[in-house]
């Protein structure tokens, strides 16, 4: 039996994930049931990799449901119980001899801080102790005691941007087959004593690159290791990074995990985040772009929809207009502005109060006269290396211009991870001087290879780049809220 249920929850965010969020997918594949899940076999997600790997074996696959939604505030109880309920009902009906779940690992609901732990605990109670349960987890999973005690094995993603999702699904399939053959796997796990900022977890850069390279070397020694950097915006006691692993030889596994843990904590200072103010980022980008044949890309990291932001802040837009810089911004969520642009038509001028995030100084709506440059239905197919093959629908959208700045405006929240999303909005990345993206790291997969440089800016927004800046209340005592940062009393 196979199923998927994906959500990364920012408990400080105000917008919940509803059942309709999962139906639409919001940048993930839209919800699928039954045999329709086989349509995901060629999509670069963990479920796709699992299904592809299992084609080589004489096994009956019973797909149940696959659902994912854009990171946000807590998952509503209605959405959680409806989707989890389908998985649990299927387990009662199918009586599977093995289970694979494609989960995230940082889901919090209106009534459960540990959504995956709750699901796995209920599932284990239904199928009993002898049915193997193997799970794939996101690199930003907050792995909990309940999760560990309720599943037989788990594999984590090893890249950020997440370009190895299908590979993780294939590794999960290999572990499940080993368990089904009767092999006994030992387990070890360790908690890391500090939170890892989202930006510094990028595996294109150190120290994350070296840490995740070590995981591949451990595979050669027979220890299947994973390191989840955690999602540092979920306020509950088990938030934070975890390293874990499985292996047939307990001593080999323990030694490999001890080495991995030591490497992570010894380089604590290297995990600290480094960001620029909007003005400094724009000034640096302008210097770099002069005479360059490729665009300079700036991440508007503190309004990243992939971390629970709503893509509504305007700090970077305001700074670009004030600097009279030539740039493109993608994408601001404003369905009212998008509808007004479609009603007015291409070439029209509109007086708008665009975007705006309530309660955040410096993120107020941007008032100005915009020209409607391009209109779009807001649909595209991801062509780059992350989530390749995924169909995205961000609703009726428009490209608006104010001064020398072009602004992509969407009707649905979406993190920009692929150049195809810009092309759908009439923006060609390779022709731009400066591109500002509401993302933290995922955009690097498709944009960085064609960029002159990549900068990270911290404009006012709801997702602080440094987790120590969040108003934590429920973290476990002794945990540092950022590398070498404050310790929870």
State how far Cα 201 lies from the chain centre: 12
Cβ within 8 Å of residue 30, ≥6 positions away: 23, 24, 391, 393
Same domain (yes/no): 234, 381: no
Check whether 220 has a pLDDT greater than 90: no
Asked whether residue 472 is domain-assigned, the answer is no
Please indicate, yes or no, whether residues 297 and 171 belong to a single structural domain of this protein: no
**267 and 288 share a domain?**
no
Same domain, residue pair 456 and 385: yes
Last residue of a domain, one of 232, 253, 271: 271
Cis, bond preceding 344 (omega within 30 deg of 0) = no
Could you tell me whether strands 153-156 and 379-381 are parallel, antiparallel, or unpaired per DSSP bridges? unpaired
Regarding whether 267 and 293 lie in a shared domain, the answer is no
Same domain, 406 and 346: yes
CA dihedral 80, 40, 172, 234 (to 10 degrees): -40
pLDDT at 282 over 90: yes
pLDDT at 128 over 90: yes
Domain contains 484: no
Residues composing the chain: 489
Q: Are 155 and 175 in contact (CB under 8 A)?
A: yes
pLDDT tops 90 at residue 333: yes
Residue 483 resides in a domain: no
Catalogue the long-range contacts made by 90-93 (C-beta closer than 8 Å, 24 or more residues apart): 90/1, 90/3, 90/62, 90/64, 90/65, 91/1, 91/123, 91/126, 91/127, 92/126
Q: Do 335 and 456 fall within a single domain?
A: yes
What span, in angstroms and rounded, lies between the C-alpha atoms of 350 and 368? 8
d(CA 16, CA 23): 14
Whether residue 486 is contained in a domain is answered as: no
Six token digits for residue 118:
């709750």
User: Could you tell me if 145 and 286 lie in one domain?
Assistant: no
Mean pLDDT of 43-58: 95
Per-residue pLDDT at 221 exceeds 90:
no
Average pLDDT for 337-350: 98
Please answer whether residues 261 and 211 qualify as being in contact, where contact means their C-beta atoms are separated by less than 8 angstroms. Answer: no
Q: Same structural domain for residues 196 and 267?
A: yes
Q: Which residues contact 291 (CB under 8 A, 6 or more apart)?
A: none
Rounded CA-CA distance 137/5 in Å is 11
Instruction: Provide the domain limits for residue 244.
Output: 2-271
pLDDT tens, position by position, 186-197: 999 999 999 999
**Residues 347-364, mean pLDDT to the nearest whole number:** 96
Q: Do the domain assignments include residue 403?
A: yes
CB 81, CB 52: distance < 8 Å = no
Q: For 195-217, write each residue's pLDDT tens digit.
A: 999 999 999 999 999 999 989 88
State yes or no: pLDDT of 219 exceeds 90. no
Angle formed at CA 206 by CA 311 and CA 225, multiple of 5 degrees? 95
Q: Residue 287 — pLDDT band, cuts 50, 70, 90? A: very high
In a domain, 364, yes or no: yes
Domain final residue, candidates 271, 294, 310: 271
Task: Quote the pLDDT of residue 422.
Answer: 97
Q: What is the pLDDT of residues 248-262, one digit of tens each?
A: 999 999 999 999 999
Residue 356 has a pLDDT of 97
Token pair 């291409």: residue: 346
Residues 28 and 176 in one domain: yes
Helix (H) or strand (E) holding 403: none
Mean pLDDT within 91-106? 98
Q: Count the neighbouring beta carbons within 10 Å of the beta carbon of residue 375.
A: 18
Residue that finishes a domain, picked among 271, 295, 326: 271
In the chain, the percentage of residues whose pLDDT exceeds 70 is 100
Residue 445 above 90 pLDDT? yes
Please indicate, yes or no, if residue 477 is contained in any of the structural domains: no
How many CB atoms neighbour CB 95 within 10 A?
Answer: 12
Task: Say if CB 430 and CB 404 are below 8 A apart.
Answer: no
CA atoms within 13 A on the CB side of 54: 25
Same domain for 121 and 50, yes or no, is yes
Phi-psi region at 423: left, alpha or beta (left = phi > 0; alpha = psi -120 to 50): alpha
pLDDT at 281: 98
Q: Does 478 reside within a domain?
A: no
Number of domains in the chain: 2
pLDDT given at position 58? 86
Please tell me whether residues 264 and 304 are part of one structural domain.
no
Q: Could you count the other beta carbons within 10 Å of the beta carbon of residue 343?
A: 10
In this structure, what are the phi and psi dihedrals at residue 360, rounded to the nearest 5 degrees?
Answer: -120, 115
Count of C-beta atoms within a 10 Å radius of residue 171: 25
């Amino acid at each position: 039996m196979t199923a998927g249920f994906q959500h990364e929850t920012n408990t400080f965010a105000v917008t919940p994930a509803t059942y309709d969020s999962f139906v639409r997918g919001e940048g993930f594949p839209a919800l699928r049931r039954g045999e329709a899940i086989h349509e995901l076999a060629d999509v670069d997600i963990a479920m796709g990799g699992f299904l592809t790997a299992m084609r080589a074996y004489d096994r009956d696959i019973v797909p149940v449901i696959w659902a994912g939604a854009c990171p946000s505030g807590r998952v509503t109880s209605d959405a959680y119980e409806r989707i989890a309920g389908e998985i649990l009902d299927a387990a009662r009906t199918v009586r599977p001899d093995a289970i694979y779940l494609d989960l995230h690992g940082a889901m919090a609901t209106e009534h459960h801080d540990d959504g995956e732990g709750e699901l796995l605990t209920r599932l284990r109670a239904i199928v009993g102790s002898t049915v193997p349960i193997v799970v794939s987890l996101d690199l930003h999973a907050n792995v909990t005691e309940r999760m560990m005690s309720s599943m037989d094995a788990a594999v984590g993603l090893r890249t950020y941007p997440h370009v190895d999702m299908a590979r993780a699904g294939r590794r999960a399939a290999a572990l499940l087959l080993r368990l089904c053959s009767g092999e006994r796997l030992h387990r070890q796990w360790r908690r890391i004593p500090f939170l890892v900022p989202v930006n510094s977890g990028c595996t294109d850069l150190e120290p994350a690159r070296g840490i995740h390279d070590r995981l591949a070397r451990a595979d050669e020694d027979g220890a299947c290791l994973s390191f989840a950097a955690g999602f540092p915006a979920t306020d509950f006691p088990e938030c934070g990074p975890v390293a874990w692993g499985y292996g047939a030889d307990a001593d080999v596994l323990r030694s490999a995990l001890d080495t991995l843990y030591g490497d992570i904590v010894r380089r604590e200072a290297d995990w600290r985040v480094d960001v620029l103010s909007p003005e400094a980022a724009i000034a640096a980008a302008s210097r770099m772009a002069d005479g360059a044949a490729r665009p300079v890309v700036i991440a508007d990291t503190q309004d990243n929809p992939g971390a629970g932001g709503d893509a509504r802040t305007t700090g970077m837009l305001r700074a670009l207009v004030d600097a009279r810089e030539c740039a493109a911004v993608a994408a601001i969520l404003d369905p009212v502005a998008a509808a007004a642009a479609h009603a007015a038509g291409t070439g029209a001028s509109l007086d708008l109060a665009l975007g705006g995030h309530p309660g955040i100084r410096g993120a107020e709506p941007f008032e100005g006269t915009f020209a409607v440059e391009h209109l779009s239905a807001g649909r595209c197919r991801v062509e780059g290396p992350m989530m390749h093959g995924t169909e995205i629908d961000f609703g009726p959208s428009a490209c608006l211009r104010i001064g020398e700045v072009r602004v992509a405006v969407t009707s649905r929240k979406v993190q920009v991870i692929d150049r195809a999303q810009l092309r759908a909005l009439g923006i060609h990345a390779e022709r731009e001087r400066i591109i500002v993206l509401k993302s933290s790291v995922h955009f690097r997969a498709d944009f960085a290879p064609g960029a002159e440089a990549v900068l990270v800016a911290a404009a006012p927004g709801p997702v602080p780049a440094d987790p120590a800046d969040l108003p934590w209340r429920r973290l476990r005592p002794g945990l540092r809220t950022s590398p070498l940062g404050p310790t929870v009393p």
